[in-house]
Chains A and B, each alone.
Chain A
Amino acid sequence: MTKPMQELPMDGTPGFALSPGALARIDALAARYPTKASALMPCLWVIMDELGWVPPGGVDLMVEKLDVTHARVNEVLTFYTMFRDTPQAKHTLQVCHNISCHIMGARPLIRHLEERLGVKLGGRTADGQFQIEGAECLGACGMGPCLQLGTHLYENVTPAKADALLESLRRGVVPRADTDREGVD
């Protein structure tokens, strides 16, 4: 069980630390891209992958490693919807509500999830476990409605399928995504 959200550190600077592997990855990216600044997005992804968000200490690290300004890092961090500058729930369910998924039932699905979790879209459960968000097209239009959990994409999601997903996540198991194919790797 994760800590309640209000107890999570909102200022990441004092406790900010990345693993040696992540730091090495940032150095490698800075060397691989034609300019250090052009490696900013992939380097932010390294921090996101490790912590789930980019704390102020992560911004400082980018400034130090990539020779860019705080303003540059912050504008990139806030422009892109997938970069987060606040701590996140353990599981963020992103439900596509654009036109194709809308036609195929995104709205009833969202309403169902809101009822099940007791939060409105955009909200987070009190225990910090779940958050539901709207997404503007996840590229699964023919398989809508769809929802995404990290790198896992679930397609043709019915309320029953959503219930099974929530139940599985509560047990600590991320179900197989529709984009995972048997025997592919």
Chain B
Amino acid sequence: MRSWRACAAASCRGPTPTGKGWTELNHNGVVGPSGPKLLSARFGRTDGHRLAVYEKEGGYQALRRVLGGMQPAEVQAVVKESGLRGRGGAGFPTGTKWGFVPQAAEQVYFFVNADESEPGTFKDRFLLDYDPHQTIEGTIISCFAVRASLGFIYIRGEFGWLIDRVQKAVDECYAAGYLGKNILGSGYNLDLIVHKGAGAYICGEETGLINSVEGRKGQPSIKPPFPAVSGFLKKPTIVNNVESVASVPWIIMNGAAAYRAFGTEKSPGTKLFSVSGPVKRPGVYEIPLGMPFRTFFNDVLGGMADGEELKAVIVGGSSVPVLPADEIMNCNLDYESLGSAGTMLGSGGMIIIPKRCDMVELIQVLMHFYWDESCGQCTPCREGTGWLHRLVKKLRRGEGTPEDLERIEHVCSGMAGLTICPLSDAAVMPMRSFLAKFRGEFEALIQDQTPVAAESRWPRGEQE
């Protein structure tokens, strides 16, 4: 396997030559060694959310450049050339998505998806908390690029304190002339609404999010038509993740080539990873894509916390396949490497699982989540998530049979790819991978036939 240094010298072409190559962040405001700070320059600071601070450090210069003479098509071209891929999980190229908006459209809407609800993922909250103006500037530029006159930032309802903070930043922008009529004298008009969700994971899916803002249940719609053609109120609508739009000002100021200098050819740029579990330094980190997991784990996270041993890692949020420790150690953190290892980069929500954890218990926690969050409109998802949850519970009650493991496979095959949105797949991917990679733990429960203590079966006091 290539070392990180070799990677930096070859295809990754990053990180910055000085420092260790990453930005270390945590909630106590400690910013660690110098590294690429395309997104995280103001993380960990107590003043970075203020407009005056953001402006002093170069904020809104990208917007001035865009409105000072660029055409929407030029902005789209720069972002397309940068190779920026959607950071919400799917990884679709952002500039290409913008290009799907029909040229003749009179009314276009733009949504920033801050419904960050994927378990293990908490990066967007850092972006909006420590540096809301970066996202807002990216939003205004993105709206201009697709010729939208109304934008929304959809923030999950649980982030109550964050919604107040972003609203204040938006208010500052109106007062400073970055939002509203005739922005910076350019003739461009844009309104931006901060919209508060109310607790539904599925609203993170773009059509679910759009339906939610239309004042409906957040149930996803069938595609096509894609939102870029027919979305909010049946008008062309672009939905982008917070991290995607927050990357845009840097790309405009520094150019597509400079952005491509970070990361790999197919995964350019930097990415925020949010790390949870018993490692020495959990938190949010900005690293160039392509860094070997082994380097990230040992040097950035500091390895496991005292007394813990690494068992497995869910690398991109709870919906991606789990990898045992020996397999993840051979991966690089980019879309292609993780894809060929049988998992996905996803949202970058990395969950570190220690040896002490019972994998059947963990998959029960996850199956309960997907069952709870299924919107209920597709039968395979509504019934399948509940069925999987019940099967796992049955195993843990000591009542499982070998046929139950076949049944899990059978139920999964009746769910994958057969529903309107990917929530069903999001349940199937961890379920299948937990069973494939840790089958021995499932079989041991069947052989043992001893119920796991009732109180440890489920933390909610739910009726078994």
- Asked if A90 is at the interface of the complex by the 8 Å CB criterion, the answer is no
Q: B121, B216, B278, B283: which contacts A103 (Cβ < 8 A)?
A: B278
Contact between chains at B215 and A32 (CB < 8 Å): no
Contact between chains at A179 and B460 (CB < 8 Å): no
Contact between chains at A80 and B459 (CB < 8 Å): no
Provide the residues of chain A in CB contact with B324, threshold 8 Å: none
Given contacts A134-B459, A148-B158, contact A39 B215 (CB under 8 A): yes
What is the minimal beta-carbon distance from B339 to any residue of chain A, in angstroms? 22
Q: How far is the CA of A38 from the CA of B216 in the complex (A)?
A: 8
Contact between chains at A142 and B274 (CB < 8 Å): yes
Provide the residues of chain B in CB contact with A100, threshold 8 Å: 119-120, 276-277, 351
Contact between chains at A80 and B198 (CB < 8 Å): yes
Would you give the 0/1 interface string for B280-292, flagging 1 where the beta carbon is closer than 8 Å to chain A?
Answer: 0011100000000
Provide the residues of chain A in CB contact with B362, threshold 8 Å: 99, 102-103
**Candidate in A32, A81, A103, A114 with the most chain B CB atoms within 10 angstroms:** A103
- Asked if A17 is at the interface of the complex by the 8 Å CB criterion, the answer is no
Given contacts A41-B215, A80-B200, A148-B158, contact A141 B461 (CB under 8 A): no
Q: How far is the CA of A184 from the CA of B44 in the complex (A)?
A: 12
Contact between chains at B277 and A104 (CB < 8 Å): yes
Given contacts A99-B351, A99-B365, A151-B161, contact A107 B456 (CB under 8 A): yes
Contact between chains at B351 and A138 (CB < 8 Å): no
Contact between chains at B46 and A102 (CB < 8 Å): no
Provide the residues of chain B in CB contact with A141, threshold 8 Å: 119-122, 274, 276, 349, 351
Given contacts A80-B157, A80-B200, contact A99 B217 (CB under 8 A): no
Contact between chains at A104 and B198 (CB < 8 Å): no
Residue in chain B with minimal CB distance to A180:
B161
Contact between chains at A97 and B459 (CB < 8 Å): yes
What is the minimal beta-carbon distance from A92 to any residue of chain B, in angstroms? 12
Contact between chains at B282 and A136 (CB < 8 Å): no
Q: How far is the CA of A101 from the CA of B216 in the complex (A)?
A: 31
Q: How far is the CA of A179 from the CA of B118 in the complex (A)?
A: 20
Q: Count CB-based A-B contacts (< 8 Å).
A: 177
Contact between chains at A98 and B369 (CB < 8 Å): yes
Provide the residues of chain B in CB contact with A107, threshold 8 Å: 456, 459
Contact between chains at B119 and A99 (CB < 8 Å): yes
Q: How far is the CA of A38 from the CA of B111 in the complex (A)?
A: 14
State which of B133-141, B173-181, B189-197 sits at the interface with chain A.
Answer: B189-197
- Asked if B213 is at the interface of the complex by the 8 Å CB criterion, the answer is yes
Contact between chains at A135 and B218 (CB < 8 Å): no
- Asked if B49 is at the interface of the complex by the 8 Å CB criterion, the answer is yes
- Asked if B226 is at the interface of the complex by the 8 Å CB criterion, the answer is no
Give the contacts of A131-149 with B (CB-CB under 8 A): 134-144, 148
Give the contacts of B237-290 with A (CB-CB under 8 A): 274-278, 282-284
Given contacts A34-B233, A98-B365, contact A139 B156 (CB under 8 A): yes
- Asked if A82 is at the interface of the complex by the 8 Å CB criterion, the answer is yes
- Asked if B345 is at the interface of the complex by the 8 Å CB criterion, the answer is no
Residue in chain B with minimal CB distance to A100:
B276
Provide the residues of chain A in CB contact with B459, threshold 8 Å: 97, 102, 106-107, 110-111, 121, 134
Give the contacts of B198-234 with A (CB-CB under 8 A): 198-201, 212-218, 232-233
Contact between chains at A135 and B158 (CB < 8 Å): yes
Contact between chains at A97 and B278 (CB < 8 Å): no
Q: How far is the CA of A107 from the CA of B212 in the complex (A)?
A: 32
- Asked if B55 is at the interface of the complex by the 8 Å CB criterion, the answer is no
Contact between chains at B276 and A121 (CB < 8 Å): no
State which of A6-14, A18-26, A68-76, A164-172 sits at the interface with chain B.
Answer: A68-76
Would you give the 0/1 interface string for A60-80, flagging 1 where the beta carbon is closer than 8 Å to chain B?
Answer: 000000101000100110011
- Asked if B20 is at the interface of the complex by the 8 Å CB criterion, the answer is no
Q: A97, A121, A122: which contacts B365 (Cβ < 8 A)?
A: A97
What is the minimal beta-carbon distance from A48 to any residue of chain B, in angstroms? 8
Residue in chain A with minimal CB distance to B107:
A34
Contact between chains at A184 and B274 (CB < 8 Å): no
Contact between chains at A179 and B161 (CB < 8 Å): yes
Provide the residues of chain B in CB contact with A183, threshold 8 Å: 46
- Asked if B464 is at the interface of the complex by the 8 Å CB criterion, the answer is no
Give the contacts of B337-357 with A (CB-CB under 8 A): 349, 351-354, 357
Given contacts A82-B157, A139-B125, A184-B49, contact A98 B460 (CB under 8 A): no
Q: B46, B284, B461: which contacts A120 (Cβ < 8 A)?
A: B461
Q: A103, A139, A143: which contacts B158 (Cβ < 8 A)?
A: A139
Provide the residues of chain B in CB contact with A39, threshold 8 Å: 215
Query: Can you identify 27 A-B contacts, CB atoms within 8 angstroms?
Result: A35-B214, A35-B233, A38-B213, A42-B196, A45-B196, A76-B215, A76-B216, A82-B158, A82-B198, A99-B314, A103-B276, A103-B354, A121-B461, A134-B460, A135-B158, A136-B119, A136-B369, A137-B117, A138-B158, A141-B119, A141-B122, A141-B276, A142-B26, A142-B276, A151-B164, A181-B29, A184-B47
Interface on B for A, CB 8 Å cutoff? 26-27, 29, 46-47, 49, 116-122, 125, 129, 150, 156-162, 164, 168, 193, 195-201, 212-218, 232-233, 274-278, 282-284, 314, 318, 349, 351-354, 357, 362, 365-366, 369, 372-373, 375, 455-456, 459-461
